[in-house]
Amino acid sequence: MRTTSPIRLKRTEDADSPERLLPSTRYVGSKRKLVGWIWDHIGILPFETYLDAFGGTGSLAYYAKIRMKEVTHNDLLKFNYYSGLALIENSHDFLTAQEIDSIVRRHTGVTYRDFIERNFRGLYFTHAENRWLDVALTNIRFLPDRYKRALALHALFQACVMKRPYNLFHRANLYMRFADVNRSFGNLTSWNSNFTDLFRRFAEEANRHVFSNGKNNRALNMDVMDIPGEYDLVYIDSPYMSPKSGGIDYRDYYHFLEGMSKYDDWQSMIDYNSRRKTLKSHYSIWLDRPKIETAFDYLFDKFRNSTIVVSYRSGGIPNSIALKRLLHRYKSKVILHKRHYRYALAKTSGWELLFIAT
């Protein structure tokens, strides 16, 4: 196996094609394809410190790091936090070829758990793949520091998502990989790819995206309402609340990744009455339709001293008029930009909205 080494990206160039500078992701709701459009509007604003309050896998936060901002990436989900730790906060640690190799194979003298193998049979991955995941998660513990462990977990999460139909864990649909039917969607080759090969691929990719911009960048794993500090610009991309189906529950969509991120505690987190072995439910105001407007109001008040930028989808709750009204409670100037956009898994296209409140 070749030795991995970081690619020296041009940090202040390629403004017309930022997507190719970003780590790949298949995360629902990712702004990766919209980063250029968003930055066209916020990059001209005067700010040095940047908070991504609902960071996800960190596409926009990573681009802000490229553009030499001091970035704080926050996400309540632990697996997203590890991506932020690996690629936003981390500025100098890489996985060596030897470390990558050590993660993907069994070692004598090591006791390996069989938690995934026992509990997730026939749900998301094959029996052999479940066993491989137990091995990899155990081996990752032996890496010497938290940034290396975060890089390895990030690569493992990306490999898992790539092997899943729809890139989600919202259905126990392993059967789709083996059904003898004509397929009009998905990538059977990716679904059936070897976990070892995928992990190596994403670990090498993560290595190439580690760099220092000379700033004190951070990754947080907090409820957005509890984030400390003040920031020149706060970017908010909260879960979408649909009038028909309610809020998007990312914790449910990616419960398997969240469980892997807390491997030692996963057993106590599972709702064993769920056929999909999802996690026990946690209340979120962002999934509470009667209180969603209150949540935005509190958040805008919390960051009233910052420039507030909100990514939003047309047709959501609250609607764009109500959202603009809420912003005007705390900011004197609110500008709305719109772009026609086709969302992943959506049957129809809609409008991506960008509110900039100063």
Question: 31-47, pLDDT tens digit by residue?
Answer: 999 999 999 999 999 99
In the structure, what pLDDT confidence band is assigned to residue 271 with cuts at 50, 70 and 90? very high
Specify the pLDDT at position 335. Answer: 98
Tokens of 13: 């160039």
Specify the pLDDT at position 277. Answer: 97
pLDDT at position 12 over 60:
no
* C-beta of residue 4 within 8 angstroms of C-beta of residue 97: yes
Secondary structure in 3-state letters for the chain: CCCCCCCCCCCCCCCCCHHHHCCCCCCCCCCHHHHHHHHHHHCCCCCCEEEECCCCCCHHHHHHHHCCCEEEEECCCHHHHHHHHHHHHCCCCCCCHHHHHHHCCCCCCCCCCCHHHHHCECCCECHHHHHHHHHHHHHHCCCCCHHHHHHHHHHHHHHHHHCCHHHCCCCCCHHHHCCCCCCCCCCHHHHCCCHHHHHHHHHHHHHHCCCCCCCCCEEECCCHHHCCCCCCEEEECCCCEECCCEECCHHHHCHHHHHHHCCCCHHHHECCCCCCCCECCCCCHHHCHHHHHHHHHHHHHHCCCCEEEEEEECCCCCCHHHHHHHHHCCCCCEEEEEEEEECCCCCCEEEEEEEEEC
In the structure, what pLDDT confidence band is assigned to residue 20 with cuts at 50, 70 and 90? confident
In the structure, what pLDDT confidence band is assigned to residue 350 with cuts at 50, 70 and 90? confident
Proportion of the chain above pLDDT 70, given as a percent: 92
Which are the contacts of 236, defined by CB distance < 8 A and separation ≥ 6? 53, 54, 299, 308, 309, 310, 311
pLDDT at position 16 over 80:
no
> Cis before residue 318, ω within 30 degrees of 0?
yes
The rounded distance, in Å, linking the Cα atoms of 111 and 265 is 17
- Kindly tell me the burial class for residue 268, based on how many C-beta atoms sit within 10 Å of its own C-beta (0-12, 13-18, 19 or more): exposed
Specify the pLDDT at position 346. Answer: 58
* C-beta of residue 76 within 8 angstroms of C-beta of residue 222: yes
Specify the pLDDT at position 142. Answer: 97
In the structure, what pLDDT confidence band is assigned to residue 244 with cuts at 50, 70 and 90? confident
